[in-house]
Amino acid sequence: MTLYECFAADLLCDRTVLVTGGGSGINLAIAKAFATVGANVGICGRTAERLELAAQELRGLGAEVCATVADVRDPEALENAVSRTVQQLGGLDTVVAGAAGNFLAPVEKISSNGFRTVLAIDLQGAFHTAQASFQQLKDRRGSILFVSAPQAHLPFDSQAHVGAAKAGVESLMRSLAIEWGPYGIRSNSIVPGPIDGTEGLRRVSEQVGLDTWTASTALGRCGTLEEVAAVAVALSCPLGGFITGARIDVDGGLALCGSGLFNRARSGARAPLL
């Protein structure tokens, strides 16, 4: 049994979702989960080829799909992605702000532009996504979901830029819950822990190894793409109807265990302890 069989196959039939960064990784998994429960799916991202492959997969699941090349740092490109999606698929019920950029680098080795780049993709991109979809979400009493990261609330070595950006995303999520609640718009975030098969996990496992990550969760394992995507669907359907301003950790207990193992392994790999 797949996780999605927990949901009715027509759960989100006639609903439309737009997923930023939906061409790959966790965001594509979320897009596929929405397709599996009957939603029309808009995706946007920076790479046309990647988006086209993702769109083919989504169509294979029976979804109507609209793929738009858009960098979330460009507000006009995002507005275009929203209006194309609405024209082709109908008004937006859910927006998933998933686009993110990351690299491992200690603070003293990040240039001003490097720091700004991650803030621009993760935080400003989330802001642009919210702003571009506001009218749609207001018209449909929809919901916005941010894909955050453990770095938002735990300090990880060589991830200061990501932590700052994702903490900002969490704050934006809560502000929107307050500001847009009166319009019936819900705003939440999910925080995936180490998830098998993702570019993000591959990057943060370099030098420290995968075992460091599994040992950092209470469940002693990595999560699956399905386990994250199913929560995104649950939050976006009537099951989540009274949930807003919430951060949902889908991390096997990483938030409880902390970042200490990773930090010791990582700092040990790059510099001797004092």
Which of the residues are catalytic? Answer: 148, 166
Residue 179 near residue 236, CB atoms below 8 Å: no
**Least separation in angstroms between CB 241 and ligand COA:** 30
Q: Is 87 in the site for ligand COA (CB under 6 A)?
A: no
- Between CA 25 and CA 13 the distance in angstroms is 24
Whole-angstrom Cα distance, residue 257 to residue 246?
20
23, two tokens = 């061409």
| 49, 87, 108, 111: which one binds ligand COA (CB under 6 A) | 111
Find the binder of ligand COA among 80, 117, 224, 267 (CB under 6 A): 117
CB of 190 to ligand COA, least distance (A): 14
156 near ligand COA, judged by CB under 6 A: no
100 binds ligand COA (CB under 6 A): yes
Q: Which residues pair with 69 in a beta bridge?
A: 45
- CA–CA separation, 41 and 20 (whole Å): 11
User: Among residues 115, 87, 112, 113, which one has the least CA distance to residue 16?
Assistant: 87
Applying CB under 6 A, which of residues 38, 42, 101, 194 lies at the interface with ligand COA? 101
Does residue 114 bind ligand COA (CB under 6 A)? yes
Two tokens at 242?
Answer: 């009274």
What residues line the site for ligand COA (CB under 6 A)? Answer: 100-103, 105, 109-111, 113-114, 117-118, 199-200
